[in-house]
Amino acid sequence: MKALCWNGVKDLRVETVPDPTILNSRDAIIKVSMSSVCGSDLHLYNGFVPSMREGDIIGHEFMGEVVETGKDVRKLKKGDRVVVVSVIGCGECHYCSSGSWSLCDNSNPHAIMQEKAYNYSTAGIFGYSHLFGGYAGSHAQYIRVPFADNGAFVVPEEVPDEKAVFISDAMPTGYMAAEMGNIKPGDVVAVWGAGGVGQMAIQTAYLMGAEKVIAIDSFDYRLQAAAKFSKAETLDYTSTDILDALKEATGGRGPDVCIDAVGMEARTTGIEQIYDKAKQKLRLESDRPAVLRQAIMACRKGGTISVVGVYAGLIDKFPMGVMMNKGLTMRGGQMHGQHYVQMLIDLILQDKIDPSFLLTHPMPLEAGPEAYGMFNDKTDNCMRAVFLPNM
Amino acid sequence: MAIIYPDMYRNTGKDHTGMMTDPQVINVNTPERIFSVIAGTFLIYSGIKSLVGHPVAAASKLVAGSVLFARGASGHCPIYERTGTDGVRPQNINIKQYFTVNKPREEVYQFWRKLENLPLFMRHLESVTQTDEKHSHWKAKFGSYLPSVSWDAQIVKERENEFIGWSALEGSVIENAGKVEFKDAPGGRGTEVQVVFSYHAPVGGIATGIAKLFNPVAENIIREDVRNFKQYIEAGEVPTTTGQPSGRK
């Protein structure tokens, strides 16, 4: 089959590789119909996530058709049209049983590696480095899905592919971002990053009763999409003093909930950007936390910071004094997709959320390297490129 | 002038400040010394050959070669000295591991007590055969190029649903002993399992060198095998990516 493989920093190649096979009895093989790029893939693309190996197949947001099932697969059958959650959960450990699927005890074959880095191991993720299990990703014609009954969900006919594919990652991540913010009616929510996850967080925040959501980004087309599709107010951090503008928008109180949908490659302006870039280049800090710092500064006293942008390692100049004295609550995490899928399907069926505007660039898998270049450089107004590997 | 050491520092090669004063203390084992001499000789030879064409590379080869050669010839390694490594006596393996299994204590205990279950998830065990209530025969393979090893073990103490202690019979190739304990986790969180495992490496001759190379690998193998117990009893399988496609040739 054809697959998009990581070979080094900004070096992706479409290769012919063997087809996946069933390796464990709860596996299924999925013929991929759609596989989306995700902002978090850019951290792999730009070389900021450790433990990538040449030849790794990347991609984790996908859907397709079940073509083979292992002998212990009970719910799925050949021919099912399914969307697959990007994190892998065994379904039996304490974490999966209590809905915290991305903290699964048993789905990471390289648990020993993650224990060395994080002291505990978390769930495996498709195509997201060996630290997260080294599973082959979805930018391929076929993919093996472990614990398939847990992670693959049959999509109702009424939900078309261009909506369903985002139930894999962008929608549950945005949903969980808003949920961790514990939004109450009347709250003002600020969302940093108006990409796929940020847009979904904005829409969910409104569903949860937010009075007003403010999107912060620097790309005009993304801010326009946030205003048009997600009904957010928008701020461009390159031309606005964000702390001041957020006070102005909230009668001086500050946003009740601040969502970081950017993560470790945050950009900002001026000396702070130069400082973090230099430290990251020299490997003195692995992640650039400009958004996180600004969110902590901007948040109202007693407010909540919700972090779904991906961080991998260490950050520098963390404003702990601000966080502590302002009495902030901070939560973060990879999304527990399996916990949200059924509800998200219902929200789509009820027309309360429509993520299809994210799919700006349907592309063949062969265009993988160009698609990532475009997505990384934010050219051609790209929200998300989605591969159709079997077209 | 000969240095006179007080008794307590004799044979350590160190003075009272802990500083190395006697370069003759042997802290490199024999196989490693032979390797050092050969590698050192090769580097010196290669350094001399490239002196004209690549003087910088040649200089570093000569320095590294001389250090290696001296280390092999004298049996003393200054780096081992600084890092506190003793290459002569291999470390025994002592592993303690704790984890919580999301299952009732009786079930977890029974699964472990049926020793024949262990090769289902401990990948380096080929088989365990219970010969009677207390005795069992174990067969393991620690690498595709190494021959299988087997030994006999007995359960030396046990209390149903609480603990199992075992020990290899005297004269076993793999001299090991261990204990696994089971406790109720609080608030219905399942069973807390604590595994203690110790393995005494053979000492002397070539076995010392092999054990020294092998032990860090063995420790990871044993830790992984113990982890696999939780994965297998909870999820019904050990997660793997072995055999999946990649672009690696």
Look at residue B133 and tell me if it is in a domain: yes
Do B71 and B103 share a domain, yes or no?
A: no
Q: Are A92 and B101 in contact (CB under 8 A)?
A: no
Rounded-to-integer distance, Cα A17 and Cα B34, Å: 44
The confidence band for A223, taking pLDDT boundaries of 50, 70 and 90, is: very high
Do B56 and B111 share a domain, yes or no?
A: no
Instruction: Give pLDDT, residue B20.
Output: 46
For B130, the token pair is: 């219970």
3-class DSSP string for B134-196 = CEEEEEECCCCCCCCEEEEEEEEEEECCCEEEEEECCCCCCEEEEEEEEEECHHHCCEEEEEE
Rounded-to-integer distance, Cα B168 and Cα B135, Å: 10
Q: What are phi and psi of A176, to 5 degrees?
A: -65, -35
Task: Look at A112 and B224 and tell me if their CB atoms are within 8 Å.
Answer: yes
Do B151 and B207 share a domain, yes or no?
A: yes
- Collapse the DSSP code of B12 into the 3-class scheme (helix H, G, I; strand E, B; otherwise coil) and give the result: coil
Does B184 touch chain A if contact means CB atoms closer than 8 Å?
no
Give the side-chain half-sphere CA count within 13 A for A244.
5
User: What pLDDT, in 10s, does the model give residues B202-226?
Assistant: 655 566 666 666 677 778 888 898 9
Do B118 and B215 share a domain, yes or no?
A: yes
Do B229 and B112 share a domain, yes or no?
A: yes
For B60, the token pair is: 């570093």
Rounded-to-integer distance, Cα A331 and Cα A308, Å: 9
Look at residue B241 and tell me if it is in a domain: no
Instruction: Give pLDDT, residue B38.
Output: 78
Instruction: Give pLDDT, residue B45.
Output: 80
Rounded-to-integer distance, Cα B212 and Cα B203, Å: 10
Look at residue B3 and tell me if it is in a domain: no
Instruction: Give pLDDT, residue B15.
Output: 46
User: What pLDDT, in 10s, does the model give residues B140-185?
Assistant: 887 777 788 889 999 999 999 999 999 999 877 778 899 999 999 9
Q: What are phi and psi of A285, to 5 degrees?
A: -140, 145
Q: What number is the average pLDDT over the span A41-53?
A: 94
Computed on alpha carbons and rounded to an integer, the radius of gyration of chain B in Å comes to: 25
Rounded-to-integer distance, Cα B147 and Cα B149, Å: 6
The confidence band for A100, taking pLDDT boundaries of 50, 70 and 90, is: very high
Rounded-to-integer distance, Cα B182 and Cα B185, Å: 9
Q: Is B94 left (phi over 0), alpha (psi -120 to 50) or beta?
A: beta
Q: Distances from the Cα of B146 to the Cαs of A28, B149, B202, in angstroms?
A: 34, 9, 17
Do B97 and B35 share a domain, yes or no?
A: no
User: What pLDDT, in 10s, does the model give residues A138-197?
Assistant: 999 999 999 999 999 999 999 999 999 999 999 999 999 999 999 999 999 999 999 999
Q: What number is the average pLDDT over the span A352-359?
A: 98
Instruction: Give pLDDT, residue B65.
Output: 78
Domain count, chain B: 2
Instruction: Give pLDDT, residue B83.
Output: 57
The confidence band for A234, taking pLDDT boundaries of 50, 70 and 90, is: very high
Q: Are A299 and A146 in contact (CB under 8 A)?
A: no
H-only helix segments in A134-260: 148-151, 161-164, 170-180, 196-207, 220-228, 242-248
Instruction: Give pLDDT, residue B52.
Output: 75
Look at residue B100 and tell me if it is in a domain: yes
Do B204 and B142 share a domain, yes or no?
A: yes
Does B188 touch chain A if contact means CB atoms closer than 8 Å?
no
Work out the percent of chain A whose per-residue pLDDT is above 90: 91
- In angstroms, the separation between the Cα of residue A119 and the nearest Cα of chain B is 13
User: What pLDDT, in 10s, does the model give residues A295-351?
Assistant: 999 999 999 999 999 999 899 999 999 999 999 999 999 999 999 999 999 999 999
Structural domains of chain A, ranges and CATH numbers in brackets: 2-169+335-387 (3.90.180.10), 171-332 (3.40.50.720)
- For residue A25, what is the nearest residue in chain B, using CA coordinates? B237
Per the model's pLDDT, the better-predicted residue between A54 and B174 turns out to be A54
Look at residue B242 and tell me if it is in a domain: no
Please say which residue of B46, B64, B83 terminates a domain.
Answer: B83
- Across the interface, of A26, A54, A94, the residue whose CB is closest to B236 is A26
Instruction: Give pLDDT, residue B172.
Output: 78
* H or E element at residue A142: strand A142-145
- Across the interface, of B102, B220, B227, the residue whose CB is closest to A93 is B102
- Residue (of A40, A9, A50, A36) closest to A262 by Cα position: A40
Do B24 and B79 share a domain, yes or no?
A: yes
Q: Is A55 left (phi over 0), alpha (psi -120 to 50) or beta?
A: left
Q: Provide the CATH number for the domain around residue B97.
A: 3.30.530.20
Look at residue B33 and tell me if it is in a domain: yes
Instruction: Give pLDDT, residue B78.
Output: 66
Do B175 and B193 share a domain, yes or no?
A: yes
User: What pLDDT, in 10s, does the model give residues A264-286?
Assistant: 998 999 888 888 888 888 878 88
Q: Which residues of B117-147 are buried (b: 16+ CB within 10 A; e: fewer)?
A: bbbebbbebeebeeeeeeebebebeeeeeee
Look at residue B4 and tell me if it is in a domain: no
Instruction: Give pLDDT, residue B119.
Output: 93
Do B188 and B75 share a domain, yes or no?
A: no
Look at residue B51 and tell me if it is in a domain: yes
| Residues recorded for chain B | 249
User: What pLDDT, in 10s, does the model give residues B32-89?
Assistant: 777 777 777 777 887 787 777 777 777 777 777 777 777 777 777 766 666 555 555 5
Q: What number is the average pLDDT over the span B183-208?
A: 84
Please say which residue of B63, B83, B103 terminates a domain.
Answer: B83
The confidence band for B3, taking pLDDT boundaries of 50, 70 and 90, is: very low
The confidence band for B105, taking pLDDT boundaries of 50, 70 and 90, is: very high
Instruction: Give pLDDT, residue A85.
Output: 98
Name the residue range of residue B35's domain.
Answer: 10-83
Q: What angle do CA B133, B142, B149 make, to 5 degrees?
A: 50
Task: Look at A23 and B189 and tell me if their CB atoms are within 8 Å.
Answer: no
Task: Look at A144 and B244 and tell me if their CB atoms are within 8 Å.
Answer: yes
Do B136 and B218 share a domain, yes or no?
A: yes
- Across the interface, of B102, B238, B245, the residue whose CB is closest to A20 is B245
Q: Distances from the Cα of A181 to the Cαs of A103, A107, A204, A332, A348, in angstroms?
A: 19, 27, 11, 10, 22
Instruction: Give pLDDT, residue B206.
Output: 63
Counting Cβ atoms within 10 Å, is residue A373 exposed (0-12), middle (13-18) or buried (19+)? middle
Does A14 touch chain B if contact means CB atoms closer than 8 Å?
no
- In angstroms, the separation between the Cα of residue B249 and the nearest Cα of chain A is 8
Task: Look at A106 and B235 and tell me if their CB atoms are within 8 Å.
Answer: yes
Does the pLDDT of residue B6 top 50, yes or no? no
- Collapse the DSSP code of B224 into the 3-class scheme (helix H, G, I; strand E, B; otherwise coil) and give the result: helix
- Residue (of B108, B105, B93, B109) closest to B142 by Cα position: B93
Rounded-to-integer distance, Cα A113 and Cα A106, Å: 14
Q: Which residues of A17-48 are buried (b: 16+ CB within 10 A; e: fewer)?
A: beebebbbebbbbbebbbbbbbbbbbbbbeeb
The confidence band for A124, taking pLDDT boundaries of 50, 70 and 90, is: very high
Q: What angle do CA A354, A358, A364 make, to 5 degrees?
A: 125
Do B21 and B120 share a domain, yes or no?
A: no
Q: Which residues of B7-18 are buried (b: 16+ CB within 10 A; e: fewer)?
A: eebeeebeeeee
Which residues from chain B sit within 8 angstroms of residue A146, using beta carbons?
239
Give the side-chain half-sphere CA count within 13 A for A336.
18
Q: Model ipTM?
A: 0.89
Q: Where is average pLDDT lowest: A233-237, B56-60, B197-201?
A: B56-60
Rounded-to-integer distance, Cα A107 and Cα B102, Å: 15
DSSP string, A160-192: -HHHHGGGTTHHHHHHHHHHHTT--TT-EEEEE
Q: What angle do CA A231, A235, A241 make, to 5 degrees?
A: 155
Please say which residue of B83, B103, B128 terminates a domain.
Answer: B83
Q: Are A1 and A141 in contact (CB under 8 A)?
A: yes
Which residues from chain A sit within 8 angstroms of residue B229, using beta carbons?
none
